[in-house]
């Protein structure tokens, strides 16, 4: 059974600082997704990572994938308050399209 | 294009009742998936439908069922509601089954409270 672990689960940051969220998964996969969820809202797609070594960047967020280590990272650069949200990674294994999600990382950026 | 829409947005039911949730995918998207989100279990896959056929099913009891119509709209039904069914139910759509890297687009969710 595919397991996806995120850490940390809670992250309180100061504005302007950098930090990384880690996503480990237990079985071979070449498709990993990052989503953002604001309180009371739905999930917003951030990145799709499809191959080993893939790196995607959007604004202050950069995601990478190492399929050999079964690890993805979401790096936050110079955090701002607007980045406060819960971030989920999700992995697809095999030919089906069932997303297995991590527990999420609740990010709070403080002024 | 309009996004994924779900109705109703909020529901309050009592134990033993049944409930039907509705989802309209993004225009042109033929696949609809359903996920349950709870504080304890997180986001869990319920099922996926494509062309009116269930393609995949998660580990939920038979009380959870769904269907898809010819216009790709989908409904999810939960019978004999239990307190533990209280959750945010998210519907998501994607364009096709052929592209393995499809992104799932999620709707706003239906918040179900079982009393």
Q: What is the dihedral of CA A26, A91, A9, A38, to 10 degrees?
A: -170
- Is B60's Cβ below 8 Å from some Cβ in A? no
The dihedral through the CA atoms of A22, A57, B97, B38 has a sign that is positive
Helix (H, G, I), strand (E, B) or coil at B84: helix
Q: Are A61 and A6 in contact (CB under 8 A)?
A: no
- Is B20's Cβ below 8 Å from some Cβ in A? no
- How many CA atoms, within 13 angstroms, populate the side-chain half-sphere of residue A49? 27
Q: Are B101 and A54 in contact (CB under 8 A)?
A: no
pLDDT digits (tens, 9 = 90+) for A34-78: 999 998 888 999 999 988 888 999 999 999 999 899 999 999 999
Q: Looking at CA atoms only, how far is residue A1 from chain B in angstroms?
A: 12
**Optimal mutation site among A41, A50, A99, A105, interface B, most CBs of chain B within 10 A:** A99
**Optimal mutation site among B40, B43, B60, interface A, most CBs of chain A within 10 A:** B43
Least confident of A52-56, A95-99, B9-13, B107-111: A95-99
Q: Looking at CA atoms only, how far is residue B70 from chain A in angstroms?
A: 21
In degrees, to the nearest 5, what angle opens at C-alpha B25 toward C-alphas B110 and B39?
Answer: 30
Burial A8-30 (b: 16+ CB within 10 A, else e): eeebebeeeeebebebbbeeebb
Strands A10-14 and A105-110, bridge-based pairing: parallel
In degrees, to the nearest 5, what angle opens at C-alpha A74 toward C-alphas A68 and A80?
Answer: 170
Residues of A in contact with B55 (CB under 8 A): 96-97
pLDDT digits (tens, 9 = 90+) for B39-98: 999 999 999 999 899 988 999 999 999 999 999 999 999 999 999 999 999 999 988 766
Q: Specify the pLDDT at position B100.
A: 58
Q: What percent of chain A has pLDDT over 70?
A: 99
């Amino acid at each position: 059974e595919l397991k996806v672990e995120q850490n940390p689960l809670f992250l309180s940051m100061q504005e302007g600082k950098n930090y990384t969220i880690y996503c480990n998964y237990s079985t071979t996969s070449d498709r990993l997704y990052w989503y953002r969820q604001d309180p009371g809202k739905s999930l917003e797609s951030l990145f799709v990572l499809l191959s080993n070594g893939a790196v995607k960047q959007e604004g202050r967020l950069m995601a990478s994938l190492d399929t050999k280590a079964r690890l993805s990272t979401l790096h936050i650069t110079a955090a701002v308050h607007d980045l406060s949200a819960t971030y989920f990674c999700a992995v697809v294994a095999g030919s089906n399209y069932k997303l297995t999600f991590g527990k999420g990382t609740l990010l709070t950026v403080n002024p | 294009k309009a996004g994924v829409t779900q109705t109703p947005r909020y529901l309050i039911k009592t134990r033993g009742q049944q409930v039907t949730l509705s989802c309209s995918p993004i225009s042109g998207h033929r696949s609809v998936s359903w996920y349950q989100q709870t504080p304890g279990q997180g986001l869990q896959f319920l099922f996926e439908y494509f062309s009116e056929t269930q393609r995949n099913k998660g580990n939920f009891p038979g009380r959870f069922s769904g269907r898809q119509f010819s216009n790709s709209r989908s409904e999810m039904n939960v019978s004999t509601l239990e307190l533990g069914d209280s959750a945010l139910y998210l519907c998501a759509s994607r364009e096709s089954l052929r592209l393995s890297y499809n992104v799932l687009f999620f709707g706003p969710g239906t918040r179900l409270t079982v009393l």
